[in-house]
Amino acid sequence: MAQELDLSEYLIAPDPGATRLTRAVQGVDHTGVATTIRVVEERPLTIFLNAQEIVTAMTIGDYPAYLALGFLRNQGMLRMGEDISGVDYDEELETVVVRTARATDYEDKMRRKTRTSGCAVGTVFGDMMEGLEGVTLAQTPVRTSWLYALSAKINRTPSLYLEAGAIHGTILCVGDKPLVYMEDVGRHNAVDKIAGWMLSEGVTAEDKILYTTGRLTSEMVIKTAMMGIPVLASRSGFTAWGVEIAQQVGLTLIGRMKGKRFVCLAGEDRLIRDADPDTVAEEPRKSGRKGAV
């Protein structure tokens, strides 16, 4: 029997039992038998910066303030050390208003936008690439024993993905400990929630690892670097542009993490190989995602 996972390490963990995040839907299976499964909810959330409407994102609806703060920070609309005077969420109107002491006007930036490969709303690129200029990431070492431990813990953590699927997860980690696990219908939303939590709580980035369940795209690499996190890892694969940008900014990029296996395509100099892969168990086959209620 598998050892029960200790969730006490998490400051924020998924809540797959939250009724507001999923809905029971009836259908039929491949044999024509009636079945009921839980599916993930999507809700619009409109983000304002002061009096200006910035974007409407489709999201599962949890942690709206963190999502708004992280999105604005990762778009360069909130500066380092920004004086944030308020964050107001209206559940009925499905809006978040972030207020700053500084007057802001991003109408021109919002006109010049390019959608990325991210699902749902994607990222408004604008001048994000320019935001990478001058980014210097800490040369914090990464032990392979940490990577193996994180992969095992995260893959065993109860989540909306295991409950209903159709969702991505992003986890902020330090050493071999997962700290904050956010999920959403888009990778970008999940990582923005992490960024918003870090901004709200004043958490430093130089010793952190970001783990994502999704692809290692240019969008994920750019956001991770702009957050100041030096290591990005995933059980999924890479895009060529994501790898190229990681190499340019000096970010350690690790993908295809399954069992004892992983591939590092950028920033290998941070790796300390302190674990023998032959002592690491292969990842067991999953018996299938929960669904029936």
d(CA 174, CA 80): 22
CB 215 within 8 A of CB 187: yes
Written as six digits, the tokens of 157 are: 């953590």
Closest by CA to 20, choosing from 179, 160, 190, is 160
CA distance 48 to 216: 28
* Fold annotation for 1-293: Cytidine Deaminase; domain 2 (3.40.140)
Using one digit for the tens of pLDDT, what is the confidence trace for 274-287? 999 998 888 766 54
**Arithmetic mean of pLDDT over the chain:** 88
User: So what's the pLDDT on residue 274?
Assistant: 96
The answer to whether 62 touches 56, Cβ cutoff 8 Å, is no
pTM of this structure: 0.88
Residue 289 CB neighbour total at 10 angstroms: 12
Residue type, 289: R
Identify the pLDDT of residue 133. 76
- CA 279, CA 276: separation in Å to the nearest integer? 6
List the domain boundaries for the chain: 1-293
- According to DSSP, the β-strands at 34-40 and 95-100 are unpaired
Q: Is-contact 252 266, C-beta < 8 A?
A: yes
What would the pLDDT profile of 116-136 be if each residue is shown by its tens digit?
434 444 444 545 666 677 789
Please check whether residue 162 is in contact with residue 168, taking contact to mean a CB–CB distance below 8 angstroms: no
User: Would you say residue 159 has pLDDT above 60?
Assistant: yes
Quote the pLDDT of residue 288: 46
Alpha carbon of 280 to those of 25, 144, 148, 171, 275: distances in Å?
A: 40, 11, 8, 22, 8
Compute the distance between CA of residue 193 and CA of residue 181 in angstroms, rounded to an integer. 9
Q: How confident is the model at residue 107 (pLDDT cuts 50, 70, 90)?
A: low
What are the angstrom distances between the C-alpha of 154 and each of 10, 109, 169? Answer: 10, 37, 10
Band of pLDDT at residue 292, cut at 50, 70 and 90:
very low
293, pLDDT greater than 50? no
Rounded Cα–Cα distance for residues 71 and 138 (Å)? 23
Lowest mean pLDDT among 53-67, 117-131, 162-176, 254-268: 117-131
Which secondary-structure segment (H or E) carries 72? Answer: helix 64-74
Question: 159 to each of 21, 30, 71, how far by Cα in Å?
Answer: 11, 25, 23
pLDDT greater than 50 at residue 1: no
Q: What's the average model confidence in pLDDT over 63-69?
A: 97
pLDDT of residue 118: 45
